Structure 1
């Protein structure tokens, strides 16, 4: 992420710019939900967003239409991260939707989130080839939150897959885990719900970057936010 003077934008700077607009930074993408009453209304809202973004939205704006909401995401695809243009587009889109009495939100019953699949491997390049082949995922720029070699869904709907280097076999634990990326204000509720459902908090030393939890049989998942990564 770079600012107008060429310096890198921090995650905090991105969040400070978009949070008041009802957008949230999640794994190198700013996203928002626009509540609507029908799929037709979602299509109309998407048209407003695309028109507000204009030609500059190409390679930045994506939209997902659902019967109760429009999901909008902004990031610079070629860079794999949020740039100042994305922040400008978020402002323009939010204003255009507001003029039509539509609002951008990250706080309703369905929170924005992104899922990552992390795979532990002794020979990362070899294992990576298999997962790229079986999923049809592609090599594209990805956010700096992830290590090199992460694989992306070409339609950007499925979870990102990344690989964690192992030093030795670990038969005592699972070697694939989920990372659930949520806005910071949703992390605590998500953790509490997991614990109430029989989970265990294994490690919170990296919080608020991530918390490591396990299900009743020891399978692990992390709840993650952008905080603590700059």
Structure 2
């Protein structure tokens, strides 16, 4: 039962206000304000993870601890993930760390190519990772994930205006379900342009002043 994937409704009922679903994983950021509190929180999380035999990924900086909870068997969030996330939130509150879900982000790099299988080993070697399901993956989390968008396959998304040049690489920037419109507004205020919102809130297509396109993606509507 603990390994059964939770539906969106079950996740909403779990009370994980500090957490967001990002690319099939639970992710949170806790503002610690100083390194000592960050190390104390990381140590407490480690003890809780050992007790649960379920280990999250941690990124510790001078002022933040970013935590990602996922199951090793693939995408999808389980009751076990949710239980550990809830315990981590309790530990953070006890230490005075403040949750900040607004800036949670995960970057994917998409390459337009029909030769992903052939190119996979090259990019895995370049990025210091390995090929998993045909795509280069860095298990250490140091570089973004890379995926292939085959231009010869049917695109289920909305038709986009033509570009005056060929762009093969694009960013997919994943944010929480409630962050998409804020991120879009920030991009537009910084000089970006909206290309299409036809698939929103699943994703918005934006471009920079030179016409290079990216997507702001959320888990909603997928």
TM-score (norm 2): 0.85
Structure 2 counterparts to residues 59-138 of structure 1, below 5 A? 60-107=55-102, 111-138=103-130
- SS of the counterpart of 1:155? coil
Deviation string, structure 1 residues 136-165 (Cα, Å, up to 9, x no partner): 22245xxxxxxx533321201321100011
1:144 counterpart residue number: none
- SS of the counterpart of 2:191? coil
In the alignment, structure 1 segments of 5+ residues that lack a partner are 141-147
Deviation at 1:185, TM superposition (A): 2.0
What is the aligned-residue RMSD (CA, Å)?
2.4
In the alignment, structure 2 segments of 5+ residues that lack a partner are 154-162
Distance 1:209 1:38 in 2: 36
Q: Aligned match of 2:44 in 24, 44, 48?
A: 48
Deviation string, structure 1 residues 115-140 (Cα, Å, up to 9, x no partner): 00000102221122321221122245
Deviation at 1:227, TM superposition (A): 0.4
- Is the alpha carbon distance of 1:86 and 1:5 closer, same or farther for their aligned partners in structure 2, counting shifts above 3 Å? closer
| Runs of 4+ more than 6 Å apart | none
Q: Aligned match of 2:140 in 146, 150, 155?
A: 155
Distance 2:87 2:134 in 1: 34
The answer on whether the counterparts of 1:11 and 1:227 sit within 8 Å (CA) in structure 2 is no
TM-score (norm 1): 0.82
2:213 counterpart residue number: 220
1:35 counterpart residue number: 31
